[in-house]
Copies of this chain bind each other. A is one copy, B any other.
Amino acid sequence: MSRGDKKSQSSIRKEDVRTLIKNIGKRVYKDLDSQIFPTLTLHTRSVKNLVYDPNLRQYVLGASTVTRSSQNIKQIRPFTQLIWLAYFTDKLVSEGKTSTLRDVFYSAQAFDVEFSDQSESDDIITDLEVILSRAREDFNVYPEERSAIFGDLDIEYTVKGYEGRGLNLTSHPDGFLIGPSLSTAEFIDTSAEIIIAVEKGGLFTRFVEEKVHERFKAIIIDTAGQPPRSTRYMLKRLSQELKLPVYVMTDGDIYGEHIAMVIISGSANAAHLRDLAVPTGKWIGVWGSDIIKYKLPSIPLSDIDIKRVHELKRDPRYSGGIWAKELEVFLKIKKKSELEAFAKYGLTTIVDKYLPEKLEEAKSY
């Protein structure tokens, strides 16, 4: 509630997640009051229950559910872990503190709640995401990895100690880390008309130096390879709240294509979430066909690369459009290129020539 009585997106989100967490507790108490053993029911995350939704262009969870009952000797362990996690994350949110997956694992020991290793606690955190239908960032569990953002966007923080303080995201030309403070900041104003996510830090710096933010009215995001979840969460918020189109630029190989795919269509691991995908986003390159068109230096696909192409061809997300087409091109030319390969034609060619041509081309698909 940073400005007058208009509730901020961020405080709505925060109240919302606390209500959802409290509802878990209410259900448990209700069962106890009725003298029955409390249970929790959630959608199954097994591969069998993964369903591809062609409209959303995303994997979603199917109808099958699993129950964790406090009456069942095998289920009481995950049941207890989940209840503890709900308590712990509610405390995090109410105190405005953040933590990491690893912090959660160790914190449990303070409460004599046992996790045999971190993968077990990571699993329970995902279960809580499923129950709440909220990304763990909403209950203040953040990844350790950070990527970066730069561009004309005025933000206003909502984190403790910074309420109401703002910043323009062009004020530090090396870029701003996307951590808990930026993830929960309000977007106040922008002159940007598009968002460009690039796979590499070197390109991000090049884009800033060559003023891509001014020349293309763009907010620039460095995904630093496969983007950390908080960066995908940020991309979603930017596209949704500012209603700006998202363009993704990666290396010219199938791993780059898949980075773009995960940004746009989400991952199978996060099939229970809608807040980590930008279905309107577009992958603008480097395509296999660009390697030919722009005469880029390239190296041959390895056997592992080729095997990976065949795997992706079986993935329903790759069943049409440029996704399918470019997989075929990679397979045909058996070559891959890096974004830096454009440097053969001068350090700024990627900005002066390639980027505007690809943005223009993107209007047609």
A181–B173 CB distance below 8 A: yes
Find the B residue at minimum CB distance from A225: B144
Among candidates B103, B142, B160, B211, residue contacting A343 with C-beta atoms closer than 8 Å: B103
A205–B176 CB distance below 8 A: no
Question: What residues of chain B lie closer than 8 Å to A178, measured between beta carbons?
Answer: 174
* Contact of A279 with B by CB under 8 A: no
Among candidates B98, B105, B172, B297, residue contacting A176 with C-beta atoms closer than 8 Å: B172
Closest Cβ–Cβ distance, residue A192 to chain B (whole Å): 18
Contact with B along A126-165 (1 / 0, CB 8 A): 0000000000000000101110100000000101111001
With A98-B209, A174-B146, A174-B181 in contact, do A202 and B297 touch (Cβ < 8 Å)? Answer: no
B344–A109 CB distance below 8 A: yes
A297–B109 CB distance below 8 A: yes
Among candidates B98, B100, B172, residue contacting A340 with C-beta atoms closer than 8 Å: B100
Q: Which of A108-128 contact B (CB under 8 A)?
A: 109-110
Closest Cβ–Cβ distance, residue A111 to chain B (whole Å): 10
With A340-B106, A344-B110 in contact, do A176 and B179 touch (Cβ < 8 Å)? Answer: no
Closest Cβ–Cβ distance, residue A163 to chain B (whole Å): 11
Question: What residues of chain B lie closer than 8 Å to A238, measured between beta carbons?
Answer: none
Question: What residues of chain B lie closer than 8 Å to A161, measured between beta carbons?
Answer: 173, 211
* Contact of A342 with B by CB under 8 A: yes
Q: Kindly state the separation between the CA atoms of A227 and B142 in the bound complex, as whole angstroms.
A: 21
Please list the residues of chain A having a beta carbon within 8 angstroms of any beta carbon in chain B. 96-100, 102-103, 105-107, 109-110, 142, 144-146, 148, 157, 159-162, 165, 167, 171-182, 200-202, 205-206, 209, 211, 297, 338, 340-347
Nearest 3 Cβ contacts at the A-B interface: A174-B179, A106-B343, A100-B202
* Interchain Cβ contacts under 8 Å between A and B, 22 examples: A97-B347, A99-B202, A99-B343, A103-B343, A106-B341, A106-B344, A109-B344, A110-B344, A146-B148, A146-B174, A146-B175, A160-B209, A161-B211, A162-B173, A172-B177, A172-B181, A173-B181, A175-B177, A176-B177, A177-B177, A179-B205, A180-B205
